[in-house]
């Protein structure tokens, strides 16, 4: 069922919002004033979906919980039940605005229902199997690279010969694991021509390498479908100020998707040296007295804006297929 079909159904009928508080072991459902707890297992998910299907035009609202919500979201998409994965900070702020300071699973589920009724969030679209695998592979790659960097910093402190030999083996193992993951990602891209075109498009930008392209496209699949303000906010790079009366606070960034921000930070370090346009931007801001991190953040934001523009300018799959067909004798 397409997102347009879901929105049409919800427009023609009264939407029943259901909050689901997701924990590692349990799923707390608040539906039409009733609380029900299910196990966060395949059997529990099946029971929860069966309960939801008893309510017409139900729309589930849950929070992003670091991965525990993924099985729930996948099960709901398979059953064609619309679901919105919301920012936990927003839901908590909405609860506190109503004077709700206590926090339990039943209260959180009820607050999620209330959040859905008040703000009517858009359904979270389903992701492809390729996108899910790219996320899993890039997350594992990030952990391996971090582990290798940590091991490198510890190398000079090993005085014992045995520890030194074991450390060398660990470094070799980590390097082979990184190479294996990168090979898996490259094989995955060969199976998805559209995703490979997007990666190649970003890789052409000076300062952006394959790892940055993989990470950004894995954790920011909306790239190319947003305007510059939206993409900056989604990555947590949109500056916000704190001012009141005579107090003039400094602009800060925050929120958004930290994986994207980390990938852009490393790319910006390179782009500020080798990309002529971004190097000029960085030097100009530094000459104005801006702190190095402030100037680098501006480079990150400009780089992401350009990446968004490049992806947006790519021809659609339909146009590409038509062009290929027209060239066929």
> What is the rounded distance in angstroms from the CA atom of residue 215 to the CA atom of residue 59?
30
Say whether pLDDT at 242 is over 70.
yes
- Any idea where the domains of the chain sit in the sequence? 11-119, 129-191, 217-242+250-313
Q: What confidence tier does 12 reach under pLDDT thresholds 50, 70, 90? A: very low
At residue 280 the predicted structure's pLDDT band, cuts being 50, 70 and 90, is very high
pLDDT above 90 (res 7) = no
pLDDT at 10 over 50: no
Q: Lowest mean pLDDT of 74-88, 213-227, 310-324, name the range.
A: 310-324
Instruction: Indicate whether 321 pLDDT > 70.
Output: no
Average pLDDT over residues 193-207: 94
pTM (predicted TM-score): 0.81
- Give the pLDDT confidence of 39-98 residue by residue, as tens digits: 999 999 999 999 999 988 999 999 988 889 999 999 999 999 999 999 998 999 999 999
d(CA 216, CA 199): 9
What is the token pair recorded at 188?
């995955």
What is the per-residue pLDDT across 168-194, written as a single tens digit (0 to 9) for each? 999 999 999 999 999 999 999 999 999
Q: What is the mean pLDDT of the chain?
A: 89
Average pLDDT over every residue of 19-37: 95
**Residue 1: per-residue pLDDT:** 47
pLDDT of residue 326: 40
Per-residue confidence (pLDDT) for residue 4, from 0 to 100: 52
- 114-159 pLDDT per residue, tens: 999 999 999 999 989 999 999 999 999 999 999 999 999 988 888 8
- Longest Cα pair distance anywhere in the chain, in angstroms? 74
Predicted local distance difference test score (pLDDT) of residue 108: 96
**CA dist 278 → 49, 142, 249, 282 (Å):** 50, 25, 27, 6
Note the CATH architecture for domain 11-119. Answer: 2-Layer Sandwich (3.30)
Q: Which are the contacts of 55, defined by CB distance < 8 A and separation ≥ 6?
A: 16, 18, 31, 32
């Amino acid at each position: 069922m397409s997102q347009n079909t879901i929105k049409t159904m919800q427009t023609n009928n009264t939407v029943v919002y259901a909050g689901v508080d997701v924990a590692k072991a349990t799923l707390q459902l608040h539906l039409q004033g009733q609380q029900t707890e299910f196990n966060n297992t395949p059997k529990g998910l099946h029971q929860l979906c069966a309960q939801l299907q008893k309510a017409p035009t139900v729309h589930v609202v849950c929070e992003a919980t670091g991965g525990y919500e993924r099985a729930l979201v996948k099960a709901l998409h398979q059953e064609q039940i619309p679901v919105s994965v919301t920012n936990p900070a927003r839901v908590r702020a909405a609860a506190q605005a109503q004077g709700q300071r206590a926090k339990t699973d039943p209260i959180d589920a009820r607050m999620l229902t209330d959040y859905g009724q008040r703000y009517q969030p858009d359904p979270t679209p389903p992701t492809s199997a390729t996108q899910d695998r790219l996320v899993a592979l890039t997350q594992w790659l990030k952990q391996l690279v971090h582990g290798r960097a940590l091991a490198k910093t510890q190398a000079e402190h090993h005085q014992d010969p045995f520890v030194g030999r074991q450390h060398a083996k660990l470094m070799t193992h980590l390097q082979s694991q990184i190479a294996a993951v990168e090979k898996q990602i490259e094989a995955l891209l060969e199976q998805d021509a559209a995703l490979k075109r997007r990666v190649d498009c970003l890789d052409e930008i000076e300062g952006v390498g394959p790892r940055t392209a993989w990470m950004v496209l894995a954790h920011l699949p909306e790239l190319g479908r947003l305007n510059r303000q939206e993409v900056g906010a989604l990555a947590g790079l949109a500056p916000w100020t704190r001012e009141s009366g005579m107090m003039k606070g400094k602009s800060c960034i925050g929120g958004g998707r930290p994986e994207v921000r980390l990938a852009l930070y490393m790319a910006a370090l390179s782009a500020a040296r080798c990309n002529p346009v971004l190097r000029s931007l960085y030097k100009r801001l530094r000459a104005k007295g801006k702190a190095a991190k402030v100037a680098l953040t501006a480079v990150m934001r400009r780089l992401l804006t350009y990446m968004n523009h490049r992806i947006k300018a790519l021809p659609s799959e339909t146009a590409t297929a038509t062009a290929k067909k027209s060239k066929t004798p």
